[in-house]
Structure 1
Amino acid sequence: MHANTSRTFLHLLAKRFHVFVLALAPVMADASASEFAAGRILAQPRAGVSDIEFNALLQENGAFSRGTLPHLRIHIVEVAMGTELETAYVLAQNGMVEFAEPDVLAPVGQAAPDDPRYSEQWHLAKIEAPGAWPISSGQTVMVAVLDTGVDSSHPDLASALVPGINTVAGTPDVYDTSDINNHGTAVAGAVAASTGNGIGVASVAWSSRLMPIRVSDRSDGSAYWSDIVNGLILAADHGARVANISYDVGASMAVTHAAQYVRSLGGLVVNAAMNDGIDPGYSDNPYLITVSATDQNDDRPAWSNYGQHIDVAAPGSLIVTTMNGGGYGTWSGTSFSSPIAASVLALIMTANPQLTPDEVETILKRTADQPNFRFEPNLGYGRINAARAVQAAIETQPPDTLAPAVDITSPDAGMLVHGWVSISVSASDNLGVARVVLYAGQIRIGEDTTAPYTFMWDSTLVPDGTQTLTAVAYDASGNEGESSPLMVTVRN
């Protein structure tokens, strides 16, 4: 997540905010201030760069850190009003910076409610959920719903809810998870509405526990990326194995790092593709499971986004679910495709608790249906199938024991180095690398969690002479592989 990712971010930034970036010139934008936080951006130093050095860089650019998001070393950076995009661009180009981006106000991925009358829940049969239930209904898994809150008194939800939290910056009550918009209650019902209780609606993972995480205090349901990041961290820290985000976060490096943190603790993050009817041009994100929508005929509704970043599709048209105030209604949008897919992840995890996050994701994808041989190639692996996924989970072989392969690719052995040294590491694993740690002798230089693995080493902190560099790679199963030692000569 370095040079290539920075370029991707700038490209997406330009598309999102109509930014025209000229070499050595300020960023010009016609984006309104309401699209991202005024006077605030998000930035992360590269592995090996100290907080003192990073803060000095911020000061050079007229900015300072308000603090960091937990665990991720992502700084909430205060900048001059009106310079958010320019400062993010300048910082993103600096070799000491992993990424920098505006704190975007993400729209909630909803379409307006359709017919409020009860209608048949076609999506449960379509994904063969009843075929999965004799084996798994999600009973061992907690699912976090990052949204507008949840109606805790709803008769079809109350028994599934566990204490939640409000991550909106400056909120007076961090335990207020009441629904401000109605969207969150509808999403929650798609995951875990009580089933077989003689009232209301059914759901996919009806035995799972629901953790409501309110990330919005706005009537339109929109949420800042920073509040979503905090929500993901808290979800993982409090035991959620699945987290659903029905928001537009596909371009956020901060959310990507938070999703990687969730995965490092054994969880998965599911994201709605959104409802603009376009291909937004996002690259595939290895830490987000992005879900597009299908209708009753397994076609993509015209409003559903699509593209190469889509992992799977799930029903999203005319979904009957719970509503704020104890009622029920019919909704359409990828906001409901996403929690339906998240629910199937909960079924898989319950069916085989020994599976790693990568194995769970692989099962979701490879058991998806591509109906009628006409499924769109830009809707991922296909439309999810709960029964096939659960069956595959119980048939899966024992956990992975293969250690990652890791190698230091630059600098070359024997090279003379001085000052700040850029060090590149190559790492691979049969199921994916979780993190890479670099050492100079016994000194830990830093940790990187996303390929390509690049570190900045301040060689002035060690004596002149021969120094030994070693990289250690870890996978999600806890296996570790160590590189061959690489000797360099320091002369400062």
Structure 2
Amino acid sequence: MNTRALWAMVLSLCLGGSVLFAASGKRIDQRDDAFLFCLKPMVKPLTIHRAQEPVEVNLPALNTFFDSNGIVRIEPWIPHATDQDHDGDIYSNRIYRVYLDPARQTEIETVKSKLEQLPFVLSAEFENIHRIDYTPNDTRYYQQCSLPAVKADLAWDYFIDLGQTPGDRAVLLASVDTGVDYTHPDLQDNVWVNQGEIPSSVFSDLDADSSGKVTSVEIVAYLTANNLDLNSDGEIDLQDALQTGSPLVDNNDGDGNGFTDDIIGWDLSGWAGVDDNDPMAKQGVGNGSTWAHGTHVAGILAATSDNNLGIASTAFNASMIPVKCSREQQSGEPYVNDGYAGLIYAAKAGYYAGTFTIINLSWGGGGFSNYEQSQVNIAHDTYGAVIVAAAGNGLDTPPYGEQYSTHYPSSYDNVISVAAMGCNGVWGHWATYHETVDLSAPGEGVLSTIIGTGYASWDGSSMASPNAASCIGLLKAFYPSWTNVELENRILETADPFIYDLNTEDYLQGRLGTGMVDIYNAIGAGYLPLLNYYTHSFVWVQDDGDQILNPGESVQLRVLLQNEIGRALAQNVVGTLRTNTVGVAITDSTAEYPDINPGAIGVNITDTYAFSVSSGIPLGEINFVLHVTATGEAGAEYTVDLPFTVPVTLNQAGWPVDNPSQIESSPLVYDVDGDGSNEILFGDYDGAFHVLDRYGVERDGFPYATGDDIWGSPAVADLDHDGDVELVIGSKAQHLVILNPDGTVQTDYAAGQYLMGTPAIGNLDDDADLEIVFGGYSTPGKLFAINPDGSDVPGFPLTLSEKIQRGVALRD
């Protein structure tokens, strides 16, 4: 008896049906890390300057309270509520959720009571827990790393959100193997019952709940009630239903599938090849021996879940068909003797039951066989089965270890080949890899059932394969009308390729399938959208016109969201903008989006977010998180947090420019083309003379190649009085060039010396024209003065006793 349940019942009766409370007075089904409070109607909704520690809002008294009472986070409870959303004095847009420092969560009731005393607070309440992530109560659930590895725990929530138990007893999963101890307490309740083989004379007696379906639980209850221990083993269990004298055995092939009295499955092998209707694993062997292989596989496929016992299975509530294919006359480690016969039986079992079977084959060996491929094709194409098989355990002789190889039946067409990985996605270097592998799944330390009542953790692709098959079983439960091909395509298309990020060896690439099986993604791909951050853009509110976010500016923000191809339509999309970056004030945190089709991009055109940055904000990245909620098919709820960054910089648009060579001298800023915007002129060590516009874009005709290093700055003047300026630059190429604004050469003066300094321009002779003066950095150093046409000014060049490295100066 469950004494905890009895104590709860006694308390409930004594308290007149009231619910249980923790010692603090808070109910045990309420959060202990956060609570809610509501402002009075006359108090305006809060402006949240900082949502996380240290929390800062626009009410100083609240900030003081938060600081002294361990409040580390605040958020609106109903983010897009307005003033019209109220019930009496309770306004939805004035209700907030606050989180306590973990070290002070034991004080939650005290903190809540103190907050209620503040004059602007209407009330405060504990927040109820509405659980959506489902965890079964199987006692060894937390020892099963394979379930979270394939995201089964998340996938079950799709069913829970619809008010359903995960899985479907109409989904059939077959363990075609060494036989199954189907009386194991964690298997018996999920064993398939062939409705067509139940004699009409006892059907109504067995169907205790009048559901029109007889279950294994109902069969055992009937046998127990009638004290039918027909195999005289001292136990009444499901095996008694298959014995001579059982009211279920009538020696008729009731469903016409060719197998008489196949009530729960079939034994294709018997002792020496004679088949029968009892697929029980061989008795009198070690419970954890290789004869338990089929039982271990069966537990992974379809162990009874949420039964306060042992383990859970991904398929959760499916039906398991035990099919025995190993002959018991074998001594030592058994072989699978009649595997393809078992394959066809399992396929027919589903077909004649009005559905199709997901068949697991955790065995293999030998090369390609046309006969074997044909049996696979028949099972797949004629009877609509899904066939999943182990990809292999690498070399089975010294030196053992991983192996690049085909493996049959897993490498046949119409079979999903499954490689074994660690639960964390790491390749263990012991299994088989190949291009014919379709998928990976957990195959290390997989806990499951063995003969008797026990459990064991085993390694092997034999464990990986049923992990994948069980996922397909859950997928079929959610999409019961899908064909085998549709299920196969979806499970492969939605696998998580992160395994290739972890296992980067070249020889593994493309040889572990499409990724780790991901049942959460497989179900959600047709049920929920999958939104990703695409890009963002600004509507400028207060800025300097350069369209770059600088300190002290304010903007409206559009964030573009992309819905992945193949996912559900994203409806009722709402984003909530958050940041912890100091110096950022979000002034409009929520925005609504139009529906976003699969493969399309949605943008909040009119309903923008808004924020401002302080003048003293540190330069760098603002880290934003956009919390997005949406609905998919049938109103299914979807949430995701999408991080992105926005740079805050003093740079102008287009800057900095990445120049490939060193720049020695200062640039010259001048309006070269007379359009009212300045250009930036400079030379580099590659001998390139650049003219960039204000956005860092090179003007047409530039850069101009001088031929060698440019050390000096350029000079600019209208030398010929034509209304256009000329650009003057010297270089180590020993030439001074005068360029037009379009980069064409007006004058090329050969100095015969390195020209390393900046030219000076002035009127040396009081005529109408300007002259250009520059020095040479060669021995002997010369001082040059030339006219715009390249002719020397009379008296120049002058020979000096020193080289001239820098520019010259002119003065009246």
- Pairwise TM-score range, normalised by the shorter structure: 0.5 to 0.7
Which has the larger helix fraction? Answer: 1
Counterpart of 2:149 in structure 1 is 126
CA distance in 2, matches of 1:350, 1:331: 27
Distance 2:479 2:313 in 1: 20
1:234 aligned to 2:345? Answer: yes
Give the direction of change, closer, same or farther, for the CA distance of 1:330–1:242 in structure 2 (3 Å limit). Answer: same
Partner residue of 1:206?
A: 316
Q: Please list, as runs of the form range in 1=range in 2, the aligned pairs for 1:106-145 lying within 5 A after superposition.
A: 120-134=143-157, 135=159, 136-145=166-175
Q: Deviations over 1:193-248 (max 9, x none)?
A: 11111111111112110111101123423123xx2121111111111420000111
Q: Secondary structure at the match of 2:434?
A: coil
Residues 152 and 158, structure 1, Cα contact 8 Å, conserved in 2 = yes
Residue 269 of structure 2: aligned partner: 168
- 2:374 aligns to what? 257
Structure 1 Cα separation of the partners of residues 151 and 567 of structure 2: 24
User: What's the offset of the Cα at 1:140?
Assistant: 2.6
Cα 1:233–1:394 change in 2 (3 A) is: farther
8 A contact 1:118–1:320 mirrored in 2: no
Match of 1:322 in 2: 449
Looking at structure 2, the residues matched to 337 and 127 of structure 1 have their Cα atoms a distance apart, in angstroms, of 11
CA distance in 2, matches of 1:138, 1:270: 19
CA distance in 1, matches of 2:524, 2:309: 29
C-alpha RMSD of the superposition: 2.4
Work out which structure has the larger RCO, using CA pairs closer than 8 Å and 6 or more positions apart in sequence: 1
Any idea what SS the aligned residue of 1:178 has?
coil
Aligned equivalents of 2:149 and 2:178: distance in 1? 28
Deviations 1:239-285 (A, max 9, x none): 14200001115633323222222222221111101112211246953
> What are the equivalent positions in structure 2 for 1:26-65 lying under 5 Å apart?
none
Q: 2:414 & 2:451 partners in 1: Cα distance?
A: 31
Question: What is the letter of the counterpart of residue 198 of structure 1?
Answer: N
Cα drift, residue 119 of structure 1: 6.8
CA contact (8 A) 2:316 2:474 kept: no
The 2-side partners of 1:133 and 1:119 are apart by: 16
Aligned match of 1:221: 334
**Partner Cα distance (1:397, 1:299) in 2:** 28
Aligned counterparts of 1:144 and 1:347: Cα–Cα separation in 2: 14
Does the C-alpha gap of structure 1 residues 293 and 387 become closer, same or farther in structure 2, counting only changes over 3 Å?
A: same
How many residue pairs get aligned? The number is: 280
Unaligned runs of 5+ residues in structure 1 are 1-116, 399-492
Alpha-carbon offset, residue 160 of structure 1: 1.0
Please report how far the alpha carbon of residue 345 of structure 1 lies from its aligned counterpart in structure 2 after TM superposition: 1.0
List per-residue Cα deviations over 1:296-331 (Å, max 9, x = no partner).
331122221111110000000001111111101111
CA deviation vs aligned residue, 1:389-423 (integer Å, no higher than 9, x gap): 1122547799xxxxxxxxxxxxxxxxxxxxxxxxx
In the alignment, is residue 246 of structure 1 matched against residue 362 of structure 2?
yes
Q: 2:472 touches 2:487 (CA, 8 Å); kept in 1?
A: yes
* TM-score normalised by the chain length of structure 1: 0.54
The answer as to whether partners of 1:292 and 1:338 remain within 8 angstroms in 2 is yes
Change in Cα spacing, 1:273 to 1:158, as seen in structure 2 (3 Å) is same
- Give 2:525's aligned residue: 392
What secondary structure is seen at the aligned counterpart in 2 of 1:379?
A: coil
Return the letter of the residue paired with 2:281: D
d(CA) in 2 for partners of 1:122, 1:189: 14
Equivalent in 447, 470, 485 of residue 358 of structure 1: 485
**Partner SS for 2:477:** helix
The 1:324–1:312 alpha-carbon spacing in structure 2 relative to 1, beyond 3 Å, is: same
Structure 1 residues 244-253 or 280-289, which shifts more?
280-289
Select 2:495's aligned residue among 348, 353, 368: 368
Corresponding residue SS for 2:143: coil
**Residue 153 of structure 2: SS of its match in structure 1?**
helix
Change (3 A) 1:397 1:234: farther
**What secondary structure does 1:223 align onto?**
coil
Q: Report the AA paired with residue 360 of structure 2.
A: N
Distance in 2 (CA, whole Å) between partners of 1:251 and 1:368 is 27
Which position in structure 1 is the counterpart of 2:393?
Answer: 275
Partner Cα separation in structure 2 for residue 324 and residue 282 of structure 1: 28
Q: Against the structure 1 CA distance between its residues 248 and 296, is the aligned structure 2 distance closer, same or farther, given a 3 Å change threshold?
A: same
1:273 maps to amino acid: A
In the superposition, relative to structure 1, how do residues 281 and 165 fare at CA in structure 2: closer, same or farther (>3 Å)? closer
Structure 2 length as normaliser, TM-score?
A: 0.33
The answer to whether 1:313 aligns with 2:313 is: no
* Corresponding letter in the other structure for 2:171: V
CA contact (8 A) 1:235 1:243 kept: yes
Provide the residue aligned with 2:176 in structure 1: 146
**Residues 393/347 of structure 1: CA separation in 2 closer, same or farther (3 Å cut):** farther
Q: Distance in 2 between matches of 1:267 and 1:393?
A: 22
2:426 counterpart of 1:337:
no
Distance in 1 (alpha carbons) for counterparts of 2:141 and 2:358: 28
Tell me how far apart the structure 2 counterparts of residues 122 and 147 of structure 1 sit (CA, whole Å): 24
Corresponding letter in the other structure for 1:279: Y
Report the 3-state secondary structure (helix = DSSP H, G, I; strand = E; otherwise coil) of the residue aligned with 2:148.
Answer: helix
Provide, for residues 338-360 of structure 1, a one-character-per-residue CA deviation record: whole Å limited to 9, x for no partner: 00101111111121122222221
Q: Aligned equivalents of 1:252 and 1:119: distance in 2?
A: 42
| 8 Å contact kept, 1:192–1:207 | yes
Q: Distance in 1 between matches of 2:492 and 2:513?
A: 8
Query: Do 2:268 and 2:275's aligned partners in 1 also have CA atoms closer than 8 Å?
Result: no
1:101-121, Cα deviation, whole Å (9 max, x unpaired): xxxxxxxxxxxxxxxx99711
Larger Rg: 1 or 2? 2
Give the CA deviation at 1:332.
Answer: 0.7
Aligned-partner SS, 1:133: helix
